[in-house]
Amino acid sequence: MTRLSAYLDGRLPGRRQLRALCGGFIATLRGARIAENAQTWRRETTALRAESFASYCARVRPAAAATTEVLLAEPKREPGIWSGLAQTSGDGPCRIVTMDGIRQPWFATTPPTYPVTRQAYLRVRSAVVYPRPGLVVAEPGVALRNNLLRWYPDHRLTPGFVDFVDGRLVAEVDALHPRGHIRPTVLLLCHAFHRNYAVWLLDCLPILMPWRDLLRQGRLAILVPPLTDWQRRTLQLLGVPASAIIVAQEPSVLCDDVIIPGLLPVASEPTAEPVEPAIDPATESISHDLRQPGAAVIETIQLLRNGIHPTPGTTSPEYVYVSRRGTDSFRQLTNEDEVEEAMRQLGFAVVRTEELSFDDQVATFARARIIAGPNGAGLNNIVFAPAGCLLLDLCADSWPNSLFVRTTQLFDHHYLPLEFPSDAARAQPILLGNAIIGQTHFYAAQIDTLTAALQGAMRRLGMERSRGQDDATSLGTI
């Protein structure tokens, strides 16, 4: 082949030049195609810097309003803020029950403390809202992320997300552009964890408390991501009309006039340099960071509890075991069938909250004296139980969730957390897209340990059943 090529080059003048020309032309076409593909693959990105609500308010120095009415009175070109909600000085004494010789999570002996906060509302003109991850961009390059003090895996749901780099969220510019437009004045009720039962009840809904009259009057609307039926029911129970609910179906919306809720440490004034709470690495990833003021949470739960209309015949047992058997969760109690049977022997009614309407859930826990179960959303129904209830929380040692420390303090309940070893060999990665954001937790509860701890706590708290009391007499009907 080499000899033939040389022979033709000698016999055909200009062949070599033609071959070089064609080769260059092909290389040019190939280079153009590569460049075009590279342009397609390489999108323009930007980095969003997170700023806390307190820091942002201190920097923009909004005008303070005396009431919600004043804040909403007329469109303002400059930011305004109202922070008149009363705050509590504390959530009451810690009532964790500790048991000698029984393995318990670290927070049983060293309970975490939460900053005392007050709710504030910042009104700004023109902000881009990303409802699903709960982000607000009120100025280019700066993101407010509710009351969360760090980036969470759920923030990966931001449109065009690329990565977290040097403490910033990197995303594609085109994807961040708003896809919808909201013109009325709206109060944001968007949170990265809004689908979580506890977050919705204890973090999101209390935001509405000072605005309920204005929502009923049609002077204000709330902006929410797509909601479930039970979430819509809670809004109905709080008196929020359907006409005052704007559901953001788009991944990003431009709001002409928006009220952004946020928490301020009590030591901070809205226009002063903020006092940022310290982050405890051992607790901040499981406490959802800053917490709502206790008074607003209690008011919210009272309104929900007083407004329900449960199905006739709904029972209200005094001893409730909340089963998670068969649920799709990253935490699995592998011997829950044995645990359920042991709890039945102790007189507990086994309840599956996912099978109940919201109203029936509230009614089921309305007379509970003891609530037990694997750590999970259903245990949050203790907020609907009478004061003095005992919460038995079965935890995996690889997932020591301290959330119920504050919940039981706030509602004057007793708390008995037990810890059981996880089976590390069964752990599997949890994926969000292509990113590993955690792992599954498989654990088994030792029945003897569980029953001994529970019976010991019942004796200590005077919660033992009277002689002759059976399951039937412990059930009430609402």
How confident is the model over 334-353, as pLDDT tens digits? 999 999 999 999 999 999 99
> Whole-number mean pLDDT of the chain?
85
Q: Which of 240, 260, 291 is the last residue of a domain?
A: 291
Same domain for 337 and 287:
no
Residue 124 structural domain: 46-88+117-268+279-291
How sure is the predictor about 85, in pLDDT bands with cuts at 50, 70 and 90?
low
The 3-state DSSP class for residue 306 equals helix
Q: Which of 291, 325, 352 is the last residue of a domain?
A: 291
Task: Provide the pLDDT for residue 87.
Answer: 53
Residue range 131-151, pLDDT digits in tens: 999 999 999 999 999 888 899
Contact 88, 116 (CB under 8 A): yes
Helices 336-345 and 447-461 pack at an angle, to 10 degrees, of 40
Same domain for 238 and 177:
yes
Q: What is the CATH number of the domain that holds 347?
A: 3.40.50
On whether residue 302 sits in a domain, the answer given is no
Task: Provide the pLDDT for residue 432.
Answer: 86
On whether residue 424 sits in a domain, the answer given is yes
Residue range 341-389, pLDDT digits in tens: 999 999 999 999 999 999 999 999 999 999 999 999 999 999 999 999 9
Same domain for 342 and 252:
no
User: What are the E-state strand segments in 212-282?
Assistant: 221-224, 245-247, 253-265
The H or E element spanning position 100 is none
Cα separation, 410 vs 288, in Å, equals: 16
Phi, psi of 270 (to 5 degrees): -60, -30
Q: Which of 188, 189, 239 is nearest to 214 (CA)?
A: 239
Task: Provide the pLDDT for residue 42.
Answer: 56
Same domain for 313 and 262:
no
CA angle 324, 327, 331 (to 5 degrees): 70
- For the segment 320-340, the average pLDDT, to the nearest whole number, is 92
Same domain for 202 and 175:
yes
How sure is the predictor about 154, in pLDDT bands with cuts at 50, 70 and 90?
very high
Instruction: Show the tokens assigned to 262.
Output: 């946020």
Same domain for 321 and 454:
yes
Same domain for 226 and 134:
yes
- Neighbouring CB atoms inside 10 A of 399's CB total 18
Contact 138, 144 (CB under 8 A): yes
Beta strands at 253-265 and 429-432: parallel, antiparallel or unpaired: unpaired
Contact 86, 116 (CB under 8 A): no
Same domain for 287 and 317:
no
Same domain for 327 and 286:
no
On whether residue 78 sits in a domain, the answer given is yes
**Among residues of the chain, what percentage have pLDDT more than 70?**
81
Distances from the Cα of 228 to the Cαs of 196, 301, 311, 330, in angstroms? 11, 19, 20, 21
The H or E element spanning position 133 is none
Burial call 85-120: b when 16+ CB within 10 Å, e when fewer: bebbeebeeebbbebeebebbebbeebbebbbbbbb
Cα separation, 169 vs 364, in Å, equals: 43
Burial (CB < 10 A; 0-12, 13-18, 19+), residue 429, is: exposed
CA angle 208, 213, 218 (to 5 degrees): 100
The 3-state DSSP class for residue 218 equals coil
On whether residue 336 sits in a domain, the answer given is yes
Instruction: Show the tokens assigned to 278.
Output: 């310290």
Burial call 50-83: b when 16+ CB within 10 Å, e when fewer: bbbbbbbbbebebebbeebeebbeeebeebbbbb
Task: Provide the pLDDT for residue 46.
Answer: 96
On whether residue 190 sits in a domain, the answer given is yes
* Structural domain total, the chain: 2
On whether residue 422 sits in a domain, the answer given is yes
Contact 365, 407 (CB under 8 A): no
The pLDDT of residue 219 is above 70: yes
On whether residue 335 sits in a domain, the answer given is yes
On whether residue 8 sits in a domain, the answer given is no
Q: Which of 68, 178, 86, 85 is nearest to 123 (CA)?
A: 68
Q: Which of 264, 195, 258 is nearest to 232 (CA)?
A: 195
Same domain for 369 and 229:
no
Q: Which residue has the tokens 């303090």?
A: 409
Same domain for 258 and 329:
no
Same domain for 445 and 353:
yes
Task: Provide the pLDDT for residue 291.
Answer: 75
What single letter denotes the amino acid at residue 274?
Answer: P
Task: Provide the pLDDT for residue 265.
Answer: 78
Burial call 360-393: b when 16+ CB within 10 Å, e when fewer: bbbbbbbbbbbbbbbbbbbbbbbbbbeeebbbbb
